[in-house]
Structure 1
Amino acid sequence: MSKSTNAFPRLDNHSVPLILLGGTLCNHRLWQPVINKMNVSSVSSLIVSGAGSAPALAKQLLSALPPRFCLAGFSLGAIVALQMLANAPHRIAGLALLSVNPLSDAPANAAGRRAAVQDAARQGMGNWLSATMWPRYVAPVNLADPALHATITQMADESGNETFALQTEIAITRADNRAALKTFTAPTLILNGGCDDICTPQHHLAAAEAAPHARWITLPDSGHFLPLEAPNKVADALRNWIKEILL
């Protein structure tokens, strides 16, 4: 979790600023180690919240963002990124999907998701996350990393229950937007952890099959939380993707 020395020269992407969308119970802390390493001229990390459905949030973000941009989403942020792609592919100069499940959510999941929001409110966000999600969030080799655990639980506590409730509705209302991937020809990156049992290799295969031109990279020793588990490797992959966009 220590800040790495930046060895890259400055990469000027002002013409297509990088927009980073976080996941459930995530804030700026998710992306900061990656941003520190990338050394790009224009980047913004956004919290996925502020609307109660994936289509509504995608519309809201598109109304506020520049005319054209690079878009990278992690987990729930990747779901919203796919909805933005379906809505306005001409706005997106390149797409990166990290820890993504491109499928729609099964209706049977809704009750359990909403019950989790209530449990988290009773127990406290960080306590709930530690007890239920932490063992699934990172690779086995990272389970004993106290700094990683502290960062993820701190993000949950800072996000709060209202944000969690909205994010849960976004997850429930997501659509299967793989058709948008099939017709999108700009540089596309798919990045996943080999130890991720939330957004599994099969989920990423489904995304890759929908976007045969995409570059698919698996980090074998990482779990779901790629930007915090392997920030240097994620930064390298995103930087190379942006360079391809700028060609």
Structure 2
Amino acid sequence: MAKTPLILIPGTLCDDRLWGYQRKYLSDIAEVSICEVTKDDSISSLAHSILEKAPEKFALAGLSLGGIISLEIMRLAPERVIKLALLDTNPNPPHPDQIATWERFINMANNGQFLDITIKHLLPILIHPDRRKDETLVSTIIDMAKKIGKDGYINQLKAVMTRSDQRSILSTIACPTIVVVGKEDMVCPVHISEFLTESIPTAKLEIVDYSGHLITLEQSGKVSALLRDWLNS
């Protein structure tokens, strides 16, 4: 049986390690590719860049920023996506408070405080409280941020700051869809994923216990099993 082409899109300040376990676990049934999302500063440009390199038909999964880009791909080329997975994804337009925070982070990054953003401001809300002393997990998150770098991060912030309201797309999504969220996600709380599920006709919701925002790292086995069932369905 031919493997399913599967495109995985990381979140902000994350590289291919965000999906490392899933790539390994799904490699027997999927031809996995993990996108880089640092070179453009708009959601539309990032989505177009991915589509230019993508197979004609593919399954698509995105986490957070990756989910936002995935929804833009669904707006641009829904006929090319055979299955969709949205992990810890917010379809709403940015809130003024969020924009103010991101502008502050851009100023910090430009003033030599780039790593402080991850270490002091993001880590406390990205992962489950009980995992904050997990040295392996924490070091992976910090190393990913280092690899993305200041310029890549600023591009990502500009992209989310200027993103459009994606709620109107949701009712048009017709492919099999799974919505996955960490039960303790403080960045994209569960009620947002419940809204996604209610708004997408084909969607099924999975809430992952003992996990915050970075569920592919925090509960790698559970999330991988969910994605395997989704691909096989």
Q: Give the TM-score, by structure 2 length.
A: 0.94
Correspondence for 2:8 among 13, 17, 20: 20
* Partner residue in 2 for 1:241: 230
Q: 1:142 to 1:108 in 2, by over 3 A?
A: closer
Question: Match for 1:83: what amino acid?
Answer: E
Shift of 1:23: 0.5
Question: What residue is the counterpart of 1:87 in the other structure?
Answer: 76
Counterpart of 1:231 in structure 2 is 220
Gaps of 5+ in 2: none
- 1:52 is matched with 41
Q: Deviations over 1:34-88 (max 9, x none)?
A: 2222233400011222211111221222122111110100110100000110111
Residues in 2 aligned to 1:196 and 1:227: alpha-carbon distance in whole angstroms: 12
Distance 1:120 1:139 in 2: 25
Q: Is 1:199 the equivalent of 2:188?
A: yes
Partners in 2 of 1:184 and 1:110 — Cα distance? 28
Q: What is the CA distance between 1:108 and its match in structure 2?
A: 4.9
Alignment of 1:1-247 (within 5 A): 12-13=2-3, 16-39=4-27, 40-244=29-233
Q: Distance in 2 between matches of 1:59 and 1:73?
A: 15
Contact 2:174 2:201 in 1 (8 A): no
Aligned residue identity for 2:76? N
Q: Which runs of 5+ in 1 are unaligned?
A: 1-10
Amino acid aligned to 2:63:
F
Displacement of 1:124 after TM fit? 4.5
- Matched residue type, 2:24: N
Question: Aligned equivalents of 2:111 and 2:18: distance in 1?
Answer: 25
CA drift at 1:213: 2.5
Mapped contact 1:21–1:47 kept (Cα < 8 A): yes
Cα deviation code 1:12-39 (max 9, x no counterpart): 42xx410000000110111112222223
Q: What residue identity is the alignment partner of 2:8?
A: L
- Helix, strand or coil: the match of 2:178? strand
Letter in 1 for 2:166: N
- Equivalent residue letter for 2:21: P
The structure 1 segments of at least 4 consecutive aligned residues displaced by more than 4 Å after TM superposition are none
Alignment root-mean-square deviation, CA: 1.6
Q: CA deviation at 1:107?
A: 4.2
Q: Is the 8 A contact 2:173 2:202 kept in 1?
A: no
Query: Partners in 1 of 2:95 and 2:116 — Cα distance?
Result: 27
- Which amino acid in the other structure matches residue 18 of structure 1? L
Conserved in 2, the CA contact under 8 Å of 1:69 and 1:91?
Answer: yes
1:121 Cα offset (Å) = 4.1
Q: For 2:120 and 2:18, how far apart are their aligned partners in 1?
A: 20
Tell me if the contact between 1:102 and 1:206 (Cα under 8 Å) persists in the aligned partners: no
Between the aligned residues of both structures, percent identity stands at 32
